[in-house]
Chains A and B, each alone.
Chain A
Amino acid sequence: MAAESKTKYDRQLRIWGEQGQEALEKASICLLNCGPTGSEALKNLVLGGVGSITVVDGTKVEKHDLGNNFMLDEASLLQSKAKCVCAFLQELNDAVKAKFVEASPEALIEGNPLFFSSFTLVIATQLLETSLLKLDKICRQSNVKLLVARSYGLTGLVRISLKEHTVVESKPEHFVDDLRLQSPWPELKEFAKTIDLNEKDPIIHKHTPYVVVLIHIAEKWVDTHGGCLPTTRQEKKEFKDLIKAHMLDIDEENYKEAIESSYKVSIPHEISSQLHQIINDSAVEVNSASSDFWILVAALKEFIENEGAGEPPLEGSLPDMTSLTEFYVSLQKIYQAKAESDCRVMEHRVRTILKRIGREPDSISKSFIKNFCRNARKLTICRYRPIEDELSSPSVSELQKYMTDEEYSFSVSFYILLRAVDRFVANYNRFPGVFDNEIDDDISRLKTIAVGVLGDSGLHGSTLSDDLVNEMCRFGGGEIHAVAAFIGGVASQEAIKLITNQFVPLSGTLVFNGIDQKSQVLAL
């Protein structure tokens, strides 16, 4: 990467690294409708340095666009909106290839579905239900990721649609270190033995890493407890007391760390339920059409069942802990060596599988395998139902739960009302509440339609708050800039996660609640 790019992107490279940046720079993004929601989403991605953008919008700039879209100014009036937005976005980052298509997204969806197949990701904004369902089918057929964003008055939503998204680097914030204290391997045990816990030299005593302290004390405990590690609350407390009894001084930081980390000795010797589910997924029966990810999972499954004896490859990193430098560095090398040896076993299994399914044995790089091993415990898979499936047969039990939960009631009501709005538009060819003198009529019309949506969703007899129906009409179909910037912001954050294959994207539909900010993710 060029020095100037490195400096310019420094603050984000610290989050997703050069690999993440490379993925962004390869990505081509298509935006449908460039009102404020879409323009803001794209702005954030252009700043981050995506490869190319294509802005699709068939409208001309009107006066009201100047009140909510920063990409447009007085000089844009009556010009192509797509052209003006594209020109402003290009100004933000000349490394991005910016294009525009002056056409209505609906017309492209109807008449030119092949148009979408060349993109990495399509961001569809302010699209009505009928067009959205067609677009979803098109994108799924051509394996293009779809991100849906909608702003509507003080509400809106963001959702993702694609068959499957697999993540190696999910980067969770809180994850227990992979130390294997409950089952130390021979080299680790050997090293622990070289340090005597009864060491008289206070400097060495207070600089013995807690990993060593815990291995020693766990061994002692096992000897006196029929080969079992502490499991009950009482045993865990006694185990801590045993650690305390080894302290020479109450200020020994390493012993305090040992007490704090003592639970790591009792972590059950088994894989997480999430990982269990992944290695038992039907996709693990790989063939020549399988993705690299699933080939690695197939190898991982074999590893866990064989060499790993129930455990995935060791991660290999060691958290900082109070220690003499030489103890720490030696310990670090022991963890690294074990991780490397696990990785070699994995690599061998991967090559064998590749050969078996008729692929070139070297077609998956060593660095990919290494990265996979390092993150094996954190693998994540996201799958999304086709939008049509959710709309025609949502999870009624979840919907009912949300309807009766005070924390969710606004969000789920907005979800229903946004669908009702789309039906309203299909009936009346305009948004509810656009004319001041028809607001009262629109309120009862929208209410009737919403009752229909509830019924179709399996919620017969449920009602929505009149106040929210009223709010929906009050919005008059408007796109408030601050709401659009929020929705566009969320969409761009999700886009980054989808493109970089890092972190974990949104799992359901995020419904924005601009009234009291209690937005919720609905899983239907």
Chain B
Amino acid sequence: MINFFRKLFGGKPTSRLDNITTAPLSPQQIQDIIEAQNPRFELQQLMAGSGQSVGKQRELNEDSLLALTTTLTGNGGGVPFGLYIVADGMGGHQYGEVASNVAIRTVGGHIMRKFHPYLFNLQPEQLDESLQEIMLAGVVQAQQAIQREAPGSGTTLTAALVLGQQVTIAHVGDSRAYAVYPDGRFDPITRDHSLVKRLEELGQITSDEAAIHPQRNVLYRALGQGEVLEPDLFTVPFPKKGYLMLCSDGLWGVVAEQDMYRAIVEAPNLQRACQNLVTAANVAGGPDNITVILVQMIG
């Protein structure tokens, strides 16, 4: 075969692809590069940015967000504390914007009340509840508040409580939390409570079919809906080399992962990164409200 081509092309040397590939970097080399890019910070702390837009096609913003970053340190040492919540009110329902607003305020308020003594009392006492129990109580209160304030409405809720090295997450619906790694990987930390996602998980439809499925907005679990609510609750280590990202489906359903990654790494800081993400969703048509929070731990 090669000889035939040589004859055909006058004996030109055939170039072999092997010669131009470079060896993949070893995990240690990648580690070293990452280390070199991240200068050491003496105080371990959280940084966060957030962005929101009504989008190009909706008139009402039904998304709500809460981002709270605390650094409190002194002689006794301190741990980074952050609370980040994204809630996406239900379009087809009345008062979706009320539901999402009630959700973030109720959950946020409950958690802050629990942590206020720990953060500000001079002799902090041990909490007698676990972080997951506190989160669950917040979600249950929000569920009741929504049924009281805006009956019949619903909202998604993805809440991340960062304390030290761990993130405790409460999640209902199809907003998402991702661990975004410096090599461009987006690891979803949450699982959508949507019918289409479930069909996809079962291999009934492909991810491409899911993206255009007519029922892709149908949720099987939402805050404010149903009598019994079982949020997903779990604790994972904070993605220390990368970012924690929370967003509504107005972002993840519209912008591809590689474009989201580019929007993040090309920005000089987290606030600009969030603005870039919002802009990318709007450039792609902005069919829904867009909300995003990016969190980084340095030091």
Answer yes or no: do A and B interact: no
Give the interface of A toward B (CB within 8 A).
none
